[in-house]
Amino acid sequence: MSSPRKSALPSPHLKVSLTRLQTSLDYVFKDAALLERALTHRSAVALRGGGRRPARRADPRQSLASNERLEFIGDRVLGLVVAEWLLERFPDETEGALGPRHAALVSRNALAPVAEALDLSEMLNIAEHEERSGIRHLANVLADAMEAILGALYLDGGLDPVRRFVHRHWASIMEAQITPPKDPKTALQEFVLGNDRTLPVYETIRTEGPSHAPQFTVRVSALALSAEGTARSKRLAESAAASALMRLLRRETDLKKDMS
């Protein structure tokens, strides 16, 4: 018989983390197990018999004990709450303008800073072998955990606590959007065409994760540079790659200006 799974967080540490997080969320969970699961990275349940080495083959049941399913619903709940808020905040805008606003507000770039403000990186339950690789502070891991927290909030208390939390923590991003932001792929294409005649080239270089929660990594190349992005869909991965490449291209442009 295999020994019980060991948590990557000592029990007292976990209890303190759950208390701190509920204070930050301004919500007390009826089912604290939901919140604990939201903080559990898949690596923490991928160990065979509580050992330190990951199992060779992933067990589909592992995702049931990790935050992946909560992340799945949290993504949808955030999308709904933000869409509802945008309709109220910008009553005269068309769908074409609301779309880029929505994409920016539910992106990893919006989620990760909120997760950092909550200090989620220190609360996550992560296996030792992943801990050593430094994934605790990766933006995509923090963004996924933030979505899982939103999913847990929704399942425990419905839309109201999610709506209150999102309105409080996303308000500064919402108000900063004086004009609708451009989709990253559109912004990159316009920049590249202004400097070259060749369109950016996108390539899916890696697909990982279980079938219900895949992770796509896409590389985009243009103007002799390339960058990668990872997300739960090819479209979002392409947008993440385009954003990363735009940062590189702007940096290159600024360096050339400084040298001239």
Was 147 annotated as part of a binding site? yes
Question: For 229, phi and psi rounded to 5 degrees?
Answer: -145, 145
3-state class percentages of the chain: helix first, strand second, coil last, to nearest 5: 60, 10, 30
> What is the reported pLDDT for 17?
82
Was 131 annotated as part of a binding site? no
Longest dimension (CA), the chain: 70
> What is the reported pLDDT for 58?
45
Was 71 annotated as part of a binding site? yes
Q: What is the pLDDT of residues 36-67, one digit of tens each?
A: 999 998 887 765 444 444 444 444 444 458 89
The class (CATH top level) of 184-259 is alpha beta
> What is the reported pLDDT for 104?
86
> What is the reported pLDDT for 179?
73
Check: pTM over 0.85? Answer yes or no.
Answer: no
CA distances from 134 to 38, 124, 178 (A): 19, 12, 36
* Nearest by Cα to 18 from 186, 139, 156: 156
Question: For 225, phi and psi rounded to 5 degrees?
Answer: -125, 160
Strand partners for 207: 216
Which of the residues are catalytic?
75, 147
Domain 11-176 sits in CATH 3.20.20.105: no
Report, as ranges of residue numbers, the positions in the chain whose pLDDT lies below 50: 1-10, 48-63
Residues of the chain with CATH 1.10.1520.10: 11-176
Residues of the chain with CATH 3.30.160.20: 184-259
